[in-house]
Every structure is written in C-alpha cells, then in structure tokens.
C-alpha cells in the first residue's frame, strides 16, 4: 500500500488516532494507553503485516516525553510511523513492544538510559551506557556543569 | 624534511642549544636517528580520522617511506599513539591505560578536531572529552576534520624533527614533549 491507502486503511481501525502523511511516511499519533494494542494490530493484521521495527526513537518535546516507532513490512514493502507521548516528566511510563519486536529490547533500554522513559513489561530494563547516578543526559533540562560546555 | 623547507626553525634551534659534550651529542645523534626513522604507530582509531590514518598507511600515501613502518596491535611494541578520533569519557581510562602500557620513549599525536578540543562535540556534549590532552600529554597536534593523509604525514614529520632534538643526558633534556613532566 502507498501512504494514501495506508491512511485510509488505518483511520477506522481505532479511536483517538491522528493519521496523516508527513514528509515521507504515513504518521499515526496515538495516546499512550492504546500503544501496545495498536502496535499488535499493526503487526498481526493480514493486510498490513508490519513485521519489522527498524527504528525506535525517544524524543524530548520540552513539555512532554515521547517515543517514535518506525515500522516496515518486508512482505508488502510499506512503512508507517507511530508516535506517542506522555506529559509526565517526573515518572514517564510507556508500554514496551519487546514482546512484538524483539529488537525493541536494546532500543528501549537506550531510551530509558538517555531520556528516563520507563517501559512496562520490559524484560531487562537496566542502564545501557551511563552510570546510575548520571541522570538522563538527553533531556532538554539536563544540567551537568562539569562536563558540559554551553555557549 | 629539509631544513629550508620548514619556516619555523628557531624553536628547534633553541632546544638544540643547551650544552652537552661532544661525545653525548654524537650518541644522541645516532640514537635519535634510529628512533626517528623507526616510529611505529599503535593501531588505535576511534572514528573517521582513523580512515584517514589508514589511508596514510596505504600505498597511495605510504608513510612507511619515512619509517613509520608498521602499525602495531600491541601498545608494548608501539612508539607513537595517533589519537585518531573522538575520545568519550568511557574511552578515556582505556586510552590512559594504553598510553601507560607503551614503553619509553613514547609520543602522542592528536589527530583531528575531536582529539584536539572535542571539535564538533565541544558544546552541549555530556560524553566527549574536550581535548585528549586532558588524559595524556600530546606532542604534535594535527588539525582538520578529518585531516588529509598529507596533513598527518606532515605531523609525523614534525614529530621526527622533535625527536632529533632529544638527548639521553636527562629525561627532561631538550625534549619539547611533556612526557616526563
């Protein structure tokens, strides 16, 4: 399916979805509590078959924290982007998609490491690079007066 | 490198001036000749500068012509470490250990913007060491991002000139480097 067909196909699949085509891919913005069930639908629907999570990105929007998922179907060669976010900056929690795409394991650990987003049902949520005491360095409000030089 | 091809000879002349007797200077000349013409670099590259370093060793530029004969995979067999690339805080202890494992005399070339100052990662970076001289003493800086193989070659030739001015009389001697500080 091309982006337009994907849009038309996906829009009726759930409530609270914001479906539009961005610069490159069809983008779906959805509330955090619907993320896992919707992702599962994307993977298991016979006409979509998004069996490949090729990019998982954590984002700090300033007022909220979010995750962007790039999904691809190796069978139909179409791509979709899922976006979700949470406005809780103190204790941000999202659902893990590790049970659907195993590659999410390390990606989610990295997001947890650098942005502090916790993932429910993640098998092994430990810090990947940083020390436990380091804080979350990719957050916009991160302060480190020793290591960081600012203008 | 021929003397007349290099514009700033004064600093090296100054280093050579300090008084040593005839015998020692002669021994120095022999030892320095040997050292400078068999500088073996350590295989150590952390990012894109490493590609240029490999190019400098490959047939087109071929720095084996000047005696940087062969990359050593062990710091114990290497004379010079070319810090080719970004050093992050996690890498810094490893780099220090490699430097400590090298046997004297040892030299350091900081290759590229990252090794000199952190380069593009100087501002707003939580993980990058802002200049490799925070970790180990540097003899020659080769600027560029990344430097061309010719630039690295020029830096290596400068290091050879530096070695020419050394003496065995004292470890500090006429050595420009901070190795013994």
B126 contacts A150? CB cut-off 8 A: no
Q: How much is the pLDDT for B175?
A: 43
Q: Rounded to 5 degrees, what are φ and ψ at B149? A: -55, -35
Name the domain count of chain B.
1
Q: How much is the pLDDT for B20?
A: 55
Q: How much is the pLDDT for B166?
A: 76
Residue B32 belongs to a domain? no
Tell me which chain A residue has its CA closest to the CA of residue B118.
Answer: A149
Chain A residues closer than 8 Å to B122 by CB = 149
Residue B119 belongs to a domain? yes
Contact call for residues A27 and A21 (beta carbons, < 8 A)? yes
Q: How much is the pLDDT for B181?
A: 37
What is d(CA B71, CA B52) in angstroms, rounded to the nearest whole number?
14
Domains along the sequence of chain A with CATH = 3-134 (3.30.460.80)
Domain region containing B152? 39-159
Residue B155 belongs to a domain? yes
Nearest to B154 by CA among B30, B69, B61: B61
- Please give the biggest Cα pair distance in chain A: 53
For residue A93, the cross-strand partners are A118
Residue B118 belongs to a domain? yes
A-B C-beta contacts closer than 8 Å: 20
Residue B17 belongs to a domain? no
For residue B146, count other CB atoms closer than 10 A to its CB: 23
Q: Rounded to 5 degrees, what are φ and ψ at B8? A: -105, 85
Q: Chain A closest CA to B91's CA: distance in Å? A: 12
Q: Which residues of chain B have pLDDT under 70?
A: 1-3, 6-24, 169-181
Chain B residues closer than 8 Å to A151 by CB = 123
A129 contacts B124? CB cut-off 8 A: no
Tell me which residue has tokens 């009726």.
A12
Chain B residues closer than 8 Å to A147 by CB = 89, 125-127
User: Does this model's pTM top 0.90?
Assistant: no
What is d(CA A13, CA B100) in angstroms, rounded to the nearest whole number?
62
Express each pLDDT in B108-157 by its tens digit.
999 999 999 988 999 988 889 999 989 999 989 999 999 999 999 999 98
Tell me which residue has tokens 């690339």.
B85
CATH number at residue B64: 3.40.50.12280
DSSP-derived secondary structure letter, B60: T
A144 contacts B126? CB cut-off 8 A: yes
Among B90, B123, B125, the residue with its CB nearest the CB of A151 is B123
Residue B152 belongs to a domain? yes
A137 contacts B127? CB cut-off 8 A: yes
Q: How much is the pLDDT for B92?
A: 92
Count Cα atoms within 13 angstroms, Cβ side, for A143.
Answer: 2
What is d(CA A70, CA A50) in angstroms, rounded to the nearest whole number?
10
Q: How much is the pLDDT for A56?
A: 94
Residue B94 belongs to a domain? yes
Q: How much is the pLDDT for B27?
A: 81
- Residue A5, classed as helix, strand or coil, is helix
ipTM for the whole complex: 0.73
Q: Which residues of chain A have pLDDT under 70?
A: none
With an 8 Å Cβ cutoff, the interface of chain A facing chain B consists of 129, 137, 142, 144, 147-151
Q: Chain A closest CA to B100's CA: distance in Å? A: 24
Residue B55 belongs to a domain? yes
Peptide bond preceding B11 in cis form (omega within 30 of 0):
no
What is d(CA B145, CA B114) in angstroms, rounded to the nearest whole number?
8
Long-range interactions of A87-94: CB distance < 8 A, separation 24+: A87/A63, A89/A63, A89/A64, A89/A65, A91/A118, A92/A65, A92/A116, A92/A117, A92/A118, A93/A117, A93/A118, A93/A119, A93/A120, A94/A32, A94/A35, A94/A67, A94/A118, A94/A119, A94/A120
Among A129, A148, A151, the residue with its CB nearest the CB of B125 is A148
Q: How much is the pLDDT for A133?
A: 78
């Amino acid at each position: 399916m091309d982006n337009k067909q994907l849009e038309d196909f996906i829009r009726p699949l759930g409530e609270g979805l914001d479906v539009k085509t961005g610069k490159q891919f069809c983008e779906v913005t959805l509330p955090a509590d619907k993320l896992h069930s919707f992702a599962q639908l994307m993977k298991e629907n016979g006409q979509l078959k998004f069996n490949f999570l090729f990019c998982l990105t954590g984002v700090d929007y300033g007022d909220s924290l979010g995750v962007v998922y790039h999904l691809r179907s190796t069978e139909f060669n179409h791509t979709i982007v899922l976006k979700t976010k949470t406005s809780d900056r103190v204790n941000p929690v999202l659902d893990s998609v590790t049970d659907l795409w195993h590659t999410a394991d390390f990606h989610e650990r990295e997001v947890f490491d650098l942005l502090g987003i916790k993932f429910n049902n993640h098998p092994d949520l430990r810090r990947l690079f940083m020390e436990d005491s380091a804080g979350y360095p990719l957050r916009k409000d991160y302060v480190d007066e020793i290591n960081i030089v600012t203008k | 490198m021929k003397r007349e091809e290099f514009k700033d000879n004064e600093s090296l002349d100054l280093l050579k001036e300090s008084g040593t007797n005839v015998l020692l200077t002669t021994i120095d000349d022999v030892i320095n000749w040997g050292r400078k013409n068999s500088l073996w670099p350590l295989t150590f590259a952390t990012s894109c500068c490493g590609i240029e370093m490999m190019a400098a060793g490959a047939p087109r530029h071929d720095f084996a012509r000047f005696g940087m004969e062969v990359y050593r995979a062990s710091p114990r067999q290497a004379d010079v470490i070319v810090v080719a690339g970004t050093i992050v805080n996690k890498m810094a202890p490893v780099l220090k250990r490699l430097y400590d494992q090298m046997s004297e005399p040892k030299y350091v070339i900081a290759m590229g913007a990252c090794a000199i100052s952190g380069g593009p990662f100087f501002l707003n970076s939580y993980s990058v060491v802002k200049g490799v001289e925070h970790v180990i003493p540097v003899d020659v800086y080769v600027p560029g991002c990344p430097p061309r193989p010719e630039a690295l070659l020029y830096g290596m030739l400068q290091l050879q000139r530096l070695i020419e001015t050394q003496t065995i009389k004292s470890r500090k001697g006429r050595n420009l480097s901070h190795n013994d500080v």
